[in-house]
Amino acid sequence: MAPSEQESDSILPCHAGIIMDGNGRWAKSRGKSRLEGHKQGAEVARNVVRWAADLGIQQLSLYAFSTENWERPRLEVRGLMSLLAVLLPKTLPEMADNQVRFRILGDISPLPNNVQKAVQQACEATARHTGIEVIICLNYGGQQEIVAAVRDALQWANAQADPQQAMAELTPERFRQMMWRHDIAPLDLLIRTGGEMRISNFHLWDAAYAELYFTDVFWPDFTRHDLQLALDAYASRERRYGRTSEQVCN
């Protein structure tokens, strides 16, 4: 084990999330089609699950398709969807070897039927696995998730004896119970590849106290070493949650 791996062993994020960005620019820089970039990116996603499982990360969110990605050219959207439908079933044997449990975050109902089926099968086939949880964020938008929770909160309040009072007393903790995947831990580490420094509607609520890590590496070039660099950076951060450094250290 490399020294840097030993160092960050004890301070691993429980939940890491990755905005896997840069597939298109990676492809362009090689004179390839954007879809070839996505194909290579999908291979890296497959690897990163294995690396994260090896390292002992418990939950890994992978941003695969945002609610805004529907705005891309139709051919690209179609290509991304068929990649998912073809590749997800192929990964199942190695997911079993690594005891990976797939979960989905996002509304999959607008996706083509074959993609919905592949996703559901992947979740069902891995549901009893006991290793890393891989949360595939698919047609996911953080704002949409919050709005859905607000609707649930209103419904919940209306079912209480005094709805106004119930809403007035609503806490962030209670509200979080109404989010889509409230049993998943808040994000500890958010990695974005591809050089952009923005969140692009990823895990808005749960990134409240995430440590942010940006790298210029395009996603298809992302290696185990790059993951390790992100984990090392995470391990060196002081998470204060509003307190002072002295309070945190004592």
69 is catalytic: yes
What is the CA 101 to chain-centroid distance, rounded? 14
Of 55-94, binders to ligand IPE (CB under 6 A) are 63-66, 69, 80
Q: Does 188 bind Mg ion (CB under 5 A)?
A: no
Sign of CA dihedral 229, 33, 102, 94: negative
Burial of 71 by CB count in 10 Å (0-12 exposed, 13-18 middle, 19+ buried)? exposed
Q: Does 145 bind Mg ion (CB under 5 A)?
A: no
Least distance CB 159 / ligand IPE (angstroms): 36
Q: Does 206 bind Mg ion (CB under 5 A)?
A: no
For residues 94 to 113, the per-residue mask of contacts with Mg ion, x marking binding by CB under 5 A and - elsewhere, is --------------------
Structure tokens given for 200: 């692009």
d(CA 64, CA 137): 6
Q: Tell which one of 9, 43, 162, 196 touches ligand IPE (CB under 6 A).
A: 196
Structure tokens given for 184: 């998943």
Q: Tell which one of 15, 17, 19, 21 touches Mg ion (CB under 5 A).
A: 21
Are the beta carbons of 200 and 232 closer than 8 angstroms? no
Number of residues that bind ligand IPE (CB under 6 A): 17
Structure tokens given for 102: 């797939």
- Where does this chain bind ligand IPE (CB under 6 A)? 19-25, 63-66, 69, 80, 194, 196, 198, 200
